[in-house]
């Protein structure tokens, strides 16, 4: 069955996806960093390109574009490449860059990177034990072994994110939850912040002055000789030193306060901007979408199986686009929050790994949303996995994640007005 298909619109689109991934990397993720290791950028773009191609193939499946043998060939090719990248390339490079950052191990980088990779493979393999994901007729070295494990990790991730998203989406967009923030609140906070900074400055000036006086007196003391001179020098530096440590403690406390005030001000500013945004036309539009999608998320939990081809195509398309967009936005925020110039390479590779596993599992789960006639290709390509297990696993983790998010947001929301009133 390995013949080259006659008409091929997959390859240009793959190049397009690769270009998009490349641009996203350069313009968004690595906006403030210099790309020194181009392999990271290439790996990220390749992962993105092949993941998007998988979605494209699903669309083609539903639309009936290209010949079925051509689609089958591309599915298989795509799958092999993605698995190769997710299981061999990305984990190896993650290990390599982590090891490169540690000075002690830098000499034997390759050796340690291989060791890390073997450790990863061990745990990856062990993942198959507690889950009933394979039927006994699969051999040890079959592709199902790899996909099933990737599927477990990816599905867990998806369920966690979806559960949180389903709860967070209505919370964020509905005006009901927004606290009332006025300009005077912000001004009051800013005034407190500046007052705290001024206090820190005056105390640090005192410390500097005291140190200088101690230093000068110390020089004078050296000139004083004799028994009394010695006693004097001991007592005066002691009181000077005690004063200093007292003031220093006050400064430490004030600095901690200034940090908290700064973060509080940022939070209040962000809330005010969100309120203003919700009053604009764009804000109202997304508000409406928020209502719509929260209802959709609830509906999805009950798994309604009433689909026709057009609806399934549109909805699958929307799911794909919003998942990709949502994932990229979340990953970007995450990246900005935790990266530094040293760790940026590692973090991007970790994000590529998450993205790849996420997309592979989307395909797995999407199978259930597709009408029976389109499921066959997915079953054929991915082999006979226990798809039902994945759906049950998704539902369990989704519910756990959604309930935890509700609890978490409720606690956070409850604490906030009290803090607000204390100002």
Partner 1 sequence: MASLDRVKVLVLGDSGVGKSSLVHLLCQNQVLGNPSWTVGCSVDVRVQDYKEGTPDEKTYYIELWDVGGSIGNASSVKSTRAVFYNSVNGIILVHDLTNKKSSQNVYRWSLEALNKDSSPTGVIVSNGEYDREQFAENPVPLLLIGTKFDQIPENKRNEVLTRTAFLSEDFNAEEINLDCTNPRYLAAGTSNAVKLSRFFDKVRNPELYGIFLSLSLQVASFTDRKRFNFKSLHYD
Contact between 33 and partner 1 per CB under 8 A: yes
Among 204, 375, 391, 420, binds partner 1 (CB under 8 A): 204
Given phi > 0 = left and psi -120 to 50 = alpha, else beta, which region is 87?
alpha
Give the range of 87-95, 198-206, 217-225, 345-353 binding partner 1 by CB under 8 A: 198-206
Distance of CA 345 to the CA centre of its chain: 15
Among 113, 147, 200, 346, binds partner 1 (CB under 8 A): 200
Give the range of 28-36, 59-67, 357-365, 374-382 binding partner 1 by CB under 8 A: 28-36
Among 193, 316, 349, 355, binds partner 1 (CB under 8 A): 193
Distance of CA 206 to the CA centre of its chain: 45
Cα separation, 69 vs 102, in Å, equals 49
Contact between 278 and partner 1 per CB under 8 A: no
Closest CB to partner 1 among 194 and 423?
A: 194
Among 179, 205, 279, 392, binds partner 1 (CB under 8 A): 205
| Residues 6 or more apart in contact with residue 115 via CB below 8 angstroms | 95
Contact between 197 and partner 1 per CB under 8 A: yes
Is-contact 116 95, C-beta < 8 A?
Answer: yes
Among 266, 303, 412, 423, binds partner 1 (CB under 8 A): 266
CA–CA distances in Å: residue 409 to residues 189, 284, 401, 402:
24, 23, 12, 10
Closest CA to 134 of 148, 122, 124, 155: 148
Contact between 194 and partner 1 per CB under 8 A: yes
Cα separation, 198 vs 39, in Å, equals 48
Contact between 49 and partner 1 per CB under 8 A: no
Cα separation, 260 vs 266, in Å, equals 10
DSSP 8-state secondary structure symbol assigned to residue 175: G
Closest CB to partner 1 among 27 and 310?
A: 27
Q: How far is the CB of 273 from partner 1 (least distance, A)?
A: 6
Interacting residues with partner 1 between 321 and 380 (CB under 8 A): 336-337, 340-341
Q: How far is the CB of 148 from partner 1 (least distance, A)?
A: 38
What phi and psi values does residue 129 have, to the nearest 5 degrees?
-65, -55
Contact between 141 and partner 1 per CB under 8 A: no
Instruction: Write the DSSP assignment of 103-134 as a string of letters.
Output: STTSTTHHHHHHHHHHHHHHHHHHTTSSS---
Contact positions toward partner 1, by CB under 8 A? 27, 31-34, 190, 193-194, 197, 200-201, 204-205, 207-209, 212, 255, 258-259, 261-263, 265-267, 269-270, 273, 336-337, 340-341
């Amino acid at each position: 069955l390995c013949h080259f298909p006659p008409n091929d619109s997959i390859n240009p689109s793959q190049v397009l996806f690769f270009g998009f991934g490349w641009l996203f990397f350069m313009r968004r993720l690595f906006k403030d960093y210099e790309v020194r290791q181009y392999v990271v950028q290439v790996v990220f773009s390749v992962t993105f390109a092949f993941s998007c191609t998988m979605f494209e193939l699903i669309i083609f499946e539903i639309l009936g574009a290209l010949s079925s043998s051509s689609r089958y060939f591309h599915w298989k090719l795509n799958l092999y490449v993605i698995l190769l990248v997710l299981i061999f390339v990305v984990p190896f490079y993650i290990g390599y860059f982590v090891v490169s950052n540690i000075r002690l191990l830098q000499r034997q980088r390759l050796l340690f990177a291989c060791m890390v990779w073997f450790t990863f493979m061990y745990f990856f393999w062990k993942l198959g034990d507690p889950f009933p994901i394979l039927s006994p007729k699969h051999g040890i070295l079959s592709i199902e072994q790899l996909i099933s494990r990737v599927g477990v990790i990816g599905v867990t991730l998806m369920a966690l994110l979806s559960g949180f998203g389903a709860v967070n989406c209505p919370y964020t967009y509905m005006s009901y939850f927004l606290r009332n923030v006025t300009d005077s609140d912000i001004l009051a906070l800013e005034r407190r912040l500046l007052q705290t900074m001024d206090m820190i400055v005056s105390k640090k000036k005192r410390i500097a002055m005291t140190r200088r006086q101690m230093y000068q007196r110390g020089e004078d003391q050296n000139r004083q000789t004799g028994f009394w001179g010695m006693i004097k020098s001991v007592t005066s530096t002691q009181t000077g030193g005690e004063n200093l440590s007292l003031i220093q403690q006050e400064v430490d406390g004030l600095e901690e306060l200034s940090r908290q005030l700064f973060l509080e001000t940022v939070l209040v500013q962000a809330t005010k901007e969100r309120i203003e945004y919700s009053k604009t036309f764009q804000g109202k539009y997304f508000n409406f979408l928020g209502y719509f999608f929260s209802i959709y998320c609830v509906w999805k939990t009950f798994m309604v199986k009433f689909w026709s081809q057009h609806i399934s195509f549109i909805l699958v398309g929307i799911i794909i686009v919003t998942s990709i967009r949502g994932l990229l936005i979340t990953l970007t925020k995450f990246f900005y929050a935790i990266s530094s110039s040293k760790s940026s390479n590692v973090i991007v590779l970790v994000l590529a790994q998450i993205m790849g596993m996420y997309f592979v599992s989307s395909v797995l789960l999407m199978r259930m949303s597709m009408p029976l006639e389109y499921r066959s290709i997915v079953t054929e390509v991915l082999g006979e996995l226990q798809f039902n297990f994945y759906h049950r696993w998704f539902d369990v983790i989704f519910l756990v994640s959604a309930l935890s998010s509700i609890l978490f947001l409720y606690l956070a929301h409850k604490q906030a007005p009290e803090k607000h009133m204390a100002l």
